[in-house]
Amino acid sequence: MSVSEYFASTYAEARDKFLAAAQAARARTAVYALPNLRGPGNEELSIDVAKLGPHDPDAVLVLLSGTHGVEGFGGSGCQVGYLTDQLHEALPPGTGTLLVHALNPHGFAWLRRVNENNIDLNRNFRDFSRPLPGSSAYEAVHDCLVPNAYDGPERRAADDAIEQYVADRGIAEFLAAVTGGQYTRPSGLFYGGTAECWSNRTFRRILKEHVPATTNVLAVLDFHTGLGPIGYGEPIYVGFDDMGLQRARKWYGCEVTSTSKGTSTSAVVTGALSEAFLDLDPKLQVTHLAIEYGTRPVLEVIAALRADNWLHTIKDCETPFRGEIKREIRNAFYVDTPAWKAAVYGRSADFVLRASRGLRNSEQE
């Protein structure tokens, strides 16, 4: 099987390939079906789990895909390749693997970055019993991000306002305002919600059910797309712990970046998925790395997100742009070429091997 064949053209195909690869690898599997909703071909939507290794592992390598729906094409291909190429054999004895496929299955199937309720899953992992963070930075740009019309003078005025904001304050400040997470506009971009969504609750359940009490160390590789140079996978340490960052750089090298240190292409986000690991034993050592693969220039990606948001805000409206918008959102997060797929999978395999060495060294410390 060529590397390109690890990747799929639809969610349904990706799920079939993942389950087939898991079966061939003799992995133990579990299915968590999204209730009451189906895919575009009336297919079941689910988070699928595959486990390899001992039932009572000392350490576990966790591979995550599809946190951001349509970004799942890249991560799914990496997971299928991991299983097919038996990369788990590089892990030290006593180490297991937990693969979580399509954490946001609705967004994956319907080509959306957000879930069925327009929630950005990676902004939803927070304590909703406490006051929500302010969204003033996002509020300052919301109207130009989400104009009432997709074309015509309103759209042109919105685009001009964005260009002026970037010219005045810089691209980094613009991206921080847009992508950091907001909790005031349910129909806006990067909306974090007001309660734990289904994928959030289910992922917490998966961790509790599939990370055994014997586990002392977790190495997490969380696959994302849409930021950075095309085909390059930026390793981003997810967390604010200096010791954890030092450990990540020891395991994976000095190229590891950090949002909290301002060295990453990603802005600091609130309600990140990494918060779910806090539910586990506090003595558990977690090293969480997001690998962010570049696709297209960042303002083109934002433009695709704006168009998709507009389309679904007026989902019952007839528009000649629907097909074009859905093609653009897919292309913004998935480069359907052999070269991009080879770069993405090769990078993921490299980081799996680095994680394996890190886990082996942690046993000896």
Does 141 reside within a domain? no
Query: Does position 314 have pLDDT exceeding 80, yes or no?
Result: no
- Pick the closest to residue 329 from 289, 354, 300, 352 (CA basis): 300
Query: Does position 315 have pLDDT exceeding 70, yes or no?
Result: no
Longest dimension (CA), the chain: 64
Query: What is the percent of the chain where pLDDT is above 70?
Result: 98
Quote the Cα angle for 220-198-333, to 5°. Answer: 55
Does 142 reside within a domain? no
Query: What is the percent of the chain where pLDDT is above 90?
Result: 88
pLDDT value at position 322? 86
Does 181 reside within a domain? no
Query: Does position 11 have pLDDT exceeding 90, yes or no?
Result: yes
Q: Mean per-residue pLDDT for 273-281?
A: 94
Does 87 reside within a domain? yes
Residue 227 parent element (H or E): strand 217-230
- Report the sign of the C-alpha dihedral through residues 355, 264, 182, 144, in that order: negative
- Pick the closest to residue 80 from 10, 12, 9, 25 (CA basis): 25
Does 136 reside within a domain? no
Q: Model pTM? A: 0.96
Does 19 reside within a domain? yes
The two structure tokens encoding residue 332: 């913004």
pLDDT bin (cut points 50, 70, 90) of residue 320 is confident
Does 318 reside within a domain? no
pLDDT bin (cut points 50, 70, 90) of residue 226 is very high
Q: Mean per-residue pLDDT for 291-317?
A: 90
Does 273 reside within a domain? yes
Task: Write b or e for each residue in 28-53: b if 16 or more Cβ atoms lie within 10 A of its Cβ, otherwise e.
Answer: eeeebebeeeebeeeeebbbbbbbbb
**CATH code of 30's domain:** 3.40.630.10
d(CA 172, CA 175): 5
pLDDT bin (cut points 50, 70, 90) of residue 365 is low
Distance of alpha carbon 236 from its chain centroid, rounded?
Answer: 12
> What total number of domains does the chain contain?
1
What is the extent of the structural domain holding 88?
3-129+190-300+327-364
